């Protein structure tokens, strides 16, 4: 793979590594503000109301006003809380969300860290969120916070299994864990995307039902991983106040909130890479120039974020038993069947239909 164009511009120095931090962080800040505004406007659209209209033109500055408000709020730490862990938890949560952006390829030659195990790297750093939730819930010395943390951990661990099986199936289909390789193998247009069986002979149609099922499994599992409705039982307002961040205020609460929106984009980006061609154009080489590749990638990811927000204001919250039932008795067995089917298809295709073997 060619060297990153930022290396070509600035060389291997402090400017390059600074840009690898500044660019994703700036993107995250802008994205979070837009996503918050989108959440408010989509909620008002679903509920047939106007939403925020007073802060700026049509309320577009409302997210900025929320940030200013949180910056000005007092940072309260409960007297009997474990102060070091209580203060550290939001940073752990944010670090996990931000670290995933190191391996996300926004275009052919634009990725901070080109890893040959990028698929597993993003999946692994997502586990930081579990640690942050446990630290915040336990250190708060609050029964509602602890209960929310326990719910969050059980939910995230349960849904990591079907997501992992979906990731392994895509790795088997592409023959690699390298995100750039997975994207390159989906070149040639919409029909070659992994959601439609990837690039292969015409008889790949036999695995399209399995890849479609894995796409749905990954998306639903992503909702659970990010604690979004209908899987927001760690923050069930009617049951446990605000869950693991009940005792947090000010910027510490904002960091939890920010990490949630960052995780929404990470989950959506990973689905776009694994199933929707990443930065590839749906029209083959048409509109697939380097300057268009980030547009396609961000557009696909943001569309999936929009669907997550839309579902939040459309569906009711599941009960705990229903949530576990969906994971262990529906999604995990289905993901395993799909994984076996795709692995078998990949092996047969490699042995009998690969030229030169």
pLDDT tens-digit map of 24-49: 888 888 898 899 898 888 888 888 88
Rounded Cα distance between 38 and 133, Å, is 25
- Is residue 110 helix, strand or coil? strand
Query: In the prediction, which pLDDT does 3 show?
Result: 47
Burial (CB count within 10 angstroms: exposed 0-12, middle 13-18, buried 19+), residue 16: middle
Query: In the prediction, which pLDDT does 339 show?
Result: 93
Helix (DSSP H) and strand (DSSP E) numbers for the chain? 14, 0
Whether residue 308 is preceded by a cis peptide bond, meaning omega within 30 degrees of 0, is no
Query: In the prediction, which pLDDT does 130 show?
Result: 83
CB atoms within 10 A of CB 242: 17
Using CA atoms, how far residue 79 sits from 29, 70, 139, 252, in Å, is: 32, 21, 11, 17
pLDDT tens for 126-145 read 878 888 888 888 888 888 88
153 pLDDT band (50/70/90 cuts)? confident
6 pLDDT band (50/70/90 cuts)? low
Burial (CB count within 10 angstroms: exposed 0-12, middle 13-18, buried 19+), residue 61: middle
- Is residue 308 helix, strand or coil? helix
Predicted TM-score (pTM) above 0.85: yes
Query: In the prediction, which pLDDT does 220 show?
Result: 92
- Tell me the backbone φ, ψ of residue 135, rounded to 5 degrees: -60, -45
Instruction: Return the beta strands (E) in 45-140 as ranges.
Output: none
Higher pLDDT, 283 or 110: 283
pLDDT tens for 189-238 read 888 898 888 777 777 788 899 999 999 999 999 888 888 878 877 776 66
With a cut of 80, say whether residue 303 has pLDDT above it.
yes
Residue position matching structure tokens 């795709």: 342
Query: In the prediction, which pLDDT does 271 show?
Result: 94
End-to-end CA gap in the chain: 25
The percent of residues in the chain predicted with pLDDT above 70, rounded, is 92
- Which of 67-81, 83-97, 238-252 is predicted most confidently? 83-97
With a cut of 80, say whether residue 353 has pLDDT above it.
no
Q: Are 254 and 73 in contact (CB under 8 A)?
A: no
Average pLDDT over residues 175-198: 86
Using CA atoms in the order 313, 315, 320, 325, what is the torsion angle rounded to 10 degrees? -140
- Which of 77-81, 126-130, 176-180, 242-246 is predicted most confidently? 176-180
């Amino acid at each position: 793979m060619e060297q990153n164009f930022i290396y070509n511009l600035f060389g291997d120095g402090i400017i390059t590594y600074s840009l690898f931090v500044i660019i994703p962080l700036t993107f995250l800040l802008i994205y979070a503000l837009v996503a918050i505004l989108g959440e408010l406007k989509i909620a008002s659209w679903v509920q047939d109301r106007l939403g925020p209209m007073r802060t700026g033109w049509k309320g577009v500055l409302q997210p900025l006003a929320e940030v200013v408000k949180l910056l000005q709020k007092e940072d309260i730490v409960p007297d009997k809380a474990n102060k070091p862990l209580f203060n550290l938890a939001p940073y752990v949560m944010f670090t996990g969300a931000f670290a995933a952006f190191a391996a996300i390829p926004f275009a052919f030659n634009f990725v901070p860290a080109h890893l040959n195990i990028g698929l597993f790297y993003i999946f692994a750093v997502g586990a930081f969120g579990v640690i942050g939730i446990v630290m915040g819930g336990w250190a708060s010395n609050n029964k509602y916070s602890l209960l929310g943390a326990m719910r969050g951990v059980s939910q995230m661990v349960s849904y990591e299994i079907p997501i992992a099986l979906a990731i392994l199936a895509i790795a088997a289909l592409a023959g690699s864990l390298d995100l750039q390789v997975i994207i390159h193998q989906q070149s040639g247009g919409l029909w070659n995307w992994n959601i439609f069986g990837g690039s292969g002979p015409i008889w790949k149609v036999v695995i399209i039902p399995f890849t479609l099922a894995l796409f749905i499994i990954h998306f639903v599992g992503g909702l659970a991983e990010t604690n979004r409705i209908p899987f927001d039982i760690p923050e069930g307002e009617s049951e446990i106040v605000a869950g693991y961040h009940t005792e947090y205020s000010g910027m510490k609460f904002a960091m939890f909130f920010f990490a949630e929106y960052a995780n929404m984009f990470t989950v959506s980006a990973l689905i776009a890479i694994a199933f929707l061609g990443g930065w590839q154009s749906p029209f083959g080489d048409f509109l697939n120039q380097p300057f268009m590749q980030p547009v396609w990638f961000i557009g696909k990811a943001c569309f999936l974020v929009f669907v997550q927000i839309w579902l939040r204001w459309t569906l009711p919250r599941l009960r705990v038993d229903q949530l576990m039932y969906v994971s262990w008795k529906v999604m995990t067995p289905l993901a395993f069947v799909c994984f076996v089917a795709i692995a078998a298809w990949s092996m047969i295709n490699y042995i009998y239909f690969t030229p030169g073997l």
